[in-house]
């Protein structure tokens, strides 16, 4: 536990230094150190590195998406034999050294006694205990910065991360999910390897052996028509699996895709079903209704739609008037009925322009498991950009789901009226302002009820001043609970060249 804590702390410190440095030579040095540290840790640190690398095989952390040094087959064979309860050569006629080590295990090419070629994934011994220790360490990390100020539900985030990692460590669950995905998701050009249940255990998974190249190779050397076909397969796989079946492949790093130049259409081999996002019937249909509303093809209240998606109504209330404009930004690829150029779309920048500091309020309002779904959408957009393929999103969505399905969703009453809690008092808005000299430094607004948790909203830089001036924040919050939220100044303090002003209006 202590060694994992030390390793994780060193990894986080390298990430912090990498984010802060402006020197290119120093950045390259830190990236090399970080890659080594992440790979050395395997488990959760390596998975973090794969997320950071994204879909780009040219990224400094790309080695984490291809392979780190795998264990020798002499170290793996005893694990297999203990798991299967018999010598490996009773089941296999060939078992090769691994060329691909991952965060939780590694994959070997093998040949069954029947002559079938298989991929056998073997989990590292004790990796489950290591991940559990790392998750415990992560759970001890304090809330700070935007996470604290905007009241992110870290308990829910930690629970979601724990549940997801528990699934990834259970290869029987992965086998069942992969089989379900294979049976239900049918898209032209998509291939999901068949599993061999008799050989699968909690720490061993066996499936068809597939071959192909990685996406970066496709983007560099394949024809535009082949790239376009692959992009269409990737997009329709996402749409059909999400909206029709509520099963989304949630780990879009390059190592989980192989591409084969078959005829008449290239084949996308989708691998590794350990991280599958289960999206309920109401959230996925609410998302589709929000898209249709942003297109003007139906009308639902945006606040109610986001709440049905799992957002916190009270937090969204402060930006309710901006939700229609926000929808036009985040759903833009679905609104334009022609091939969409993703290089013209900068949602993060546009959301910040629209919401300012309240972008954190929107993120904090979202459900914890939305992070994985957003990561999947980001993975898809990165794939399309790498392929330089422009496709019409909504026409392909209609093709993936069918007109009848979309019409049926349009007619369903998915969203419900939202009843917001009413606090005593006539104030509706809490204003938080920080001035640097005479110039505004931070300015954002929240629902008035947020003042009841005033302590969580105080900037870290103001706490020392508050302590020096003997201001009792808890007493202020208690007074608001007893007397109600009436227009008033809650804090107005000065610290050298900074002024902190919080008031209800």
The least confident of 198-202, 295-299, 423-427 is: 423-427
When pLDDT is averaged across residues 171-185 and rounded to a whole number, the result is: 96
Can you give the three-state secondary structure of 21-86, one letter per residue? CCCHHHHHHHHHHHHHHHHHHCHHHHHHHHHHHCCCCCCCCCHHHHCECCCCHHHHHHHHHHHHCC
Residue 13 confidence (pLDDT)? 59
pLDDT higher than threshold 60 for residue 491:
yes
Q: How far is CA 88 from CA 84, 139, 202, in A?
A: 8, 40, 17
The least confident of 33-37, 281-285, 348-352 is: 33-37
Peptide bond into 264 cis (omega under 30): yes
Question: pLDDT by residue (tens digit) across 19-74?
Answer: 667 777 777 676 666 665 555 555 555 555 555 555 555 445 454 444 467 899 99
As a whole number of angstroms, the distance between CA 243 and CA 283 comes to 9
**Among 180, 239, 220, 233, CA closest to 398:** 239
| Residue 41: φ, ψ to 5° | -80, -20
Q: Which helix (H) or strand (E) holds 134?
A: helix 127-140
Partner residues linked to 108 by β-bridges: 120
Question: pLDDT by residue (tens digit) across 142-165?
Answer: 455 566 556 677 677 777 777 888
Question: pLDDT by residue (tens digit) across 188-219?
Answer: 999 999 999 999 999 999 999 999 999 999 99
When pLDDT is averaged across residues 426-443 and rounded to a whole number, the result is: 79
- β-pairing, 439-447 vs 429-436, is antiparallel
pLDDT higher than threshold 70 for residue 283:
yes
As a whole number of angstroms, the distance between CA 166 and CA 161 comes to 9
239: left (phi over 0), alpha (psi -120 to 50) or beta: alpha
pLDDT higher than threshold 90 for residue 420:
no
Please provide the average confidence, as pLDDT, over all residues in the chain.
84
Angle between the 43-53 and 2-20 helix axes, to the nearest 10 degrees?
A: 20
Partner residues linked to 500 by β-bridges: 434, 493
| Lateral strand order in the sheet of 488-495 | 439-447, 429-436, 498-504, 488-495
**Among 365, 387, 214, 401, CA closest to 291:** 401
Q: Pinpoint the alpha helices (H) of 150-277.
A: 154-168, 171-184, 215-221, 224-239
When pLDDT is averaged across residues 239-265 and rounded to a whole number, the result is: 93
Residue 18 confidence (pLDDT)? 61
Cβ atoms of residues 82 and 54 within 8 Å:
no
- Rounded to a whole number of angstroms, the distance between the first and last alpha carbons of the chain is 50
Farthest CA pair distance, the chain: 80
Cβ atoms of residues 123 and 104 within 8 Å:
yes
| Residue 22: φ, ψ to 5° | -110, -10
Q: How far is CA 374 from CA 246, 248, 326, 445, in A?
A: 14, 11, 16, 26
As a whole number of angstroms, the distance between CA 278 and CA 163 comes to 12
**pLDDT band per the 50, 70, 90 thresholds, residue 307:** very high
Higher pLDDT, 347 or 25: 347
Residue 444 confidence (pLDDT)? 74
Q: To 10 degrees, the CA torsion angle through 338, 343, 349, 353?
A: -50
Q: How far is CA 24 from CA 14, 57, 426, in A?
A: 15, 20, 54
Cβ atoms within 10 Å, residue 313? 17
Question: pLDDT by residue (tens digit) across 256-271?
Answer: 999 999 999 999 999 9
When pLDDT is averaged across residues 75-104 and rounded to a whole number, the result is: 93
**pLDDT band per the 50, 70, 90 thresholds, residue 429:** confident
């Amino acid at each position: 536990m202590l060694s994992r804590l030390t390793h994780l702390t060193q990894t986080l410190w390298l990430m912090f230094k990498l984010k802060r440095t402006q020197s290119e030579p120093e950045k390259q040095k830190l990236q090399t150190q970080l890659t080594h540290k992440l790979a050395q840790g395997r488990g959760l640190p390596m998975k973090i590195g794969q997320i950071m690398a994204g879909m780009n095989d040219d990224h400094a952390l790309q080695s984490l998406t291809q392979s780190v040094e795998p264990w020798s087959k002499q170290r793996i064979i005893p694990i297999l034999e203990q798991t299967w309860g018999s010598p490996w050569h009773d089941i296999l006629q060939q078992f090769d050294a691994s060329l691909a080590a991952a965060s939780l295990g590694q994959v070997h090419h093998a040949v069954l006694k029947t002559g079938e070629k298989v991929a056998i994934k073997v989990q590292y011994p004790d990796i489950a205990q290591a991940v559990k220790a790392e998750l415990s360490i992560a759970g001890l990390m304090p809330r700070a910065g935007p996470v604290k100020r905007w009241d992110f539900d870290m308990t829910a985030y930690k629970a979601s991360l724990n549940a997801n990692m528990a699934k990834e460590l259970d290869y029987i669950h992965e086998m069942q999910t992969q089989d379900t995905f294979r049976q239900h998701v049918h898209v032209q050009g998509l291939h999901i390897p068949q599993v061999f249940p008799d050989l699968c255990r909690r720490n061993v998974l066996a499936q068809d052996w597939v071959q192909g190249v990685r996406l970066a190779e496709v983007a560099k050397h394949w024809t535009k028509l082949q790239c376009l076909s692959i992009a269409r397969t990737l997009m329709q796989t996402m749409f059909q699996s999400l909206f029709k079946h509520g099963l989304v492949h949630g780990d879009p790093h390059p190592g989980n895709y192989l591409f084969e130049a078959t005829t008449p259409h290239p084949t996308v081999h989708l691998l590794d079903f350990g991280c599958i996002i289960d999206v309920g019937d109401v959230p996925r249909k609410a998302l589709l209704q929000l898209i249709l509303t942003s297109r003007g093809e139906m009308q639902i209240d945006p606040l109610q739609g986001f709440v049905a998606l799992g957002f916190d109504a009270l937090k969204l209330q402060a930006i309710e008037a901006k939700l229609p404009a926000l929808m036009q930004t985040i759903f833009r690829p679905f609104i334009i009925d022609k091939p969409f150029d993703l290089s013209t779309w900068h949602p993060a920048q546009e959301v910040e322009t629209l919401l300012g500091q309240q972008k954190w309020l929107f993120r904090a309002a979202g459900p914890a498991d939305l992070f994985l779904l957003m990561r999947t959408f980001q993975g898809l957009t990165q794939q399309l950009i790498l392929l330089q393929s422009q496709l019409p999103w909504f026409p392909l969505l209609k093709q993936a789901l069918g007109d009848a399905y979309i019409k049926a969703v349009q007619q369903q009453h998915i969203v419900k009226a939202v009843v917001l809690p009413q606090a005593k008092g006539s104030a509706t808005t809490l204003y938080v302002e920080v001035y640097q000299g005479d110039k505004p430094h931070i300015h954002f607004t929240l629902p008035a009820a947020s003042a009841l948790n005033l302590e969580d909203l105080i900037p870290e830089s103001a706490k020392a001043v508050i302590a020096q001036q003997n201001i009792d924040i808890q007493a202020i919050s208690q007074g608001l609970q007893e007397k109600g939220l009436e227009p008033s100044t809650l804090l107005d303090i000065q610290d050298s060249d900074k002024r902190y002003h919080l008031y209800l209006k």
